[in-house]
Structure 1
C-alpha cells in the first residue's frame, strides 16, 4: 500500500472534480460529452500530483470510471487512507512561533482533524488578531496580523471561494538595507474569517506560500 501522499488541498481538488463529474453523469445525456468531462476530471486531478508514481496514478485514476453517487462516495472514502496529515502542533510550538504574545490564546489543538488541514488558523477577538501556521519547506512558520471583518461575504485570496472574509494585514519582517529605524511595510488581503471553511475549500497553496514568503522573507 502507498504511504499517505494526498495533502488536504489536493483532496479538495479531487472532491471538486468528483462533484462536477457526478453532476454531469446525472444531467448530460450525450455520452461523448460525458466522456470528455471524464478525461477533463482525470487530467485536473493528475495535474495536482506531478510526481505521482504509476500506482498513485492508478489509485487516483479510478475517478474516470465512476457513474453513480454511491460509486463516487466510495471512491472518496477509498482515498482517505492516503491523506497526509498536517503534522500536529503543540501549544509550546505555537508559543515559540509567536513569542511576543505572552498571553497567546490557541485553538483546541486536540479537536483538529489534521487530515483536513492545509494550515492552522485562528482568531483572537480580544486582540483583534488572526494567526496562521503553515509548514513551509519542512519548517513550521507563523504569521500574525490584524484582521478587520468585512461584515459581508467576499472572495478569499487563499481559497478563492465566496465566504465571510476579513482584511488580514501583516507587517513584513524584511526591510531594505537603507530603511530608517521606524520603517515598516504591511501586506493585506481578504481571507476567510473561518479557517475551517477555508481549509475545506482551498485547492492550491501558491497564494498562501507567496503571502507567507512576502511576510517572513
Structure 2
C-alpha cells in the first residue's frame, strides 16, 4: 500500500521543475547545460521535502533521467497514489470556525479533489467576504475578511504567481489599534483560489499571514 507523503504545494514544486526540464530538453542541445538543469531540478524537488526515506528520494530523483514526453507524463502520474490530501473536514467543523456567521454558505465539499488543495477558500458574493480554512499543527484555522477586486495584475502573496489580484483585508485584534481594540491587515491575493492552489509551492507566506491575522 502506498504511503502518502506529498502535499499539494510539494507536488506543485515537482510539476514546476519537471515542466522546466521538459522545456529545456526541447530547446537546448548543449549537454553540459542539460546536465546542470537535470541536477538543479532534482535538487529543488528534494529541498521541498524536510524528510524523505531512501525509496522516496529515489522515486523523486528519477526526474534527472527522463527524456521523452511520455517519461514525464508517467513520472507525474505515478505520484497520484502518494498525494497527502487536505485533512478531512465537515460542514459542521467549518461552521464552528466562523460562529458569528449564522448564514454561512459553505462550498460543496463533495465536489472538491482535496489532493490538490493547500488551503480551502471561497467567496460569499453577497457580502464580498472571503473565507479561508487551513490545517495547521493538528487543527484548522479559519479567517474571514473583505475581498476587493483590483482589476490589475500582480504577484499573489500565497502562490507568488503573476495574476489578476484582489485585496484581502482582515480585522485583527491589536493592542495599538482604535478604541475598539481592532485594526485591519491585508494583502493582495489571487482572485481565483483553485488556480492559486495549483500554483502554490511554499506555504511560508500563507502561514505567516495566518499568524498575523489569526484569532
Normalising by structure 2, report the TM-score: 0.96
Q: Equivalent residue of 1:58, what SS?
A: helix
List alignment gaps of at least 5 residues for structure 2.
none
Q: Equivalent residue of 1:57, what SS?
A: helix
- Contact 2:131 2:143 (C-alpha < 8 Å) held by counterparts: yes
Task: Name the CA distance, whole Å, in 1 between partners of 2:178 and 2:153.
Answer: 38
Task: Name the CA distance, whole Å, in 2 between partners of 1:16 and 1:170.
Answer: 31
Task: Name the CA distance, whole Å, in 1 between partners of 2:14 and 2:178.
Answer: 48
Partner deviation per Cα, 1:138-167 (whole Å, 9 max, x = no partner)? 110101000111123221110011122110
Q: Equivalent residue of 2:33, what SS?
A: helix
Q: Extract structure 1 runs of 4+ deviating beyond 2 A.
A: 178-181
| 1:106 matched residue in structure 2 | 106
Task: Name the CA distance, whole Å, in 2 between partners of 1:126 and 1:74.
Answer: 44
Q: How does 1:168-207 map to 2 (within 5 A)?
A: 168-173=168-173, 175-176=174-175, 181-207=179-205
Q: Equivalent residue of 2:197, what SS?
A: helix
Q: How does 1:128-167 map to 2 (within 5 A)?
A: 128-167=128-167
Task: Out of 110-119 and 153-162, give the one that drifted further.
Answer: 153-162
Task: Name the CA distance, whole Å, in 1 between partners of 2:38 and 2:71.
Answer: 14
User: How far 1:54 moved relative to its partner?
Assistant: 1.0
List alignment gaps of at least 5 residues for structure 1.
none
Normalising by structure 1, report the TM-score: 0.95
Q: Equivalent residue of 2:131, what SS?
A: strand
User: How far 1:27 moved relative to its partner?
Assistant: 0.8
CA 1:179/1:193 → structure 2, altered by over 3 Å: closer, same or farther?
A: closer
- Contact 2:169 2:185 (C-alpha < 8 Å) held by counterparts: yes
Q: Equivalent residue of 2:121, what SS?
A: strand
Q: How does 1:53-64 map to 2 (within 5 A)?
A: 53-64=53-64
Partner deviation per Cα, 1:28-57 (whole Å, 9 max, x = no partner)? 010111000000000000000121111110
User: How far 1:78 moved relative to its partner?
Assistant: 0.6
- Contact 1:2 1:56 (C-alpha < 8 Å) held by counterparts: no
User: How far 1:96 moved relative to its partner?
Assistant: 0.3
User: How far 1:2 moved relative to its partner?
Assistant: 4.7
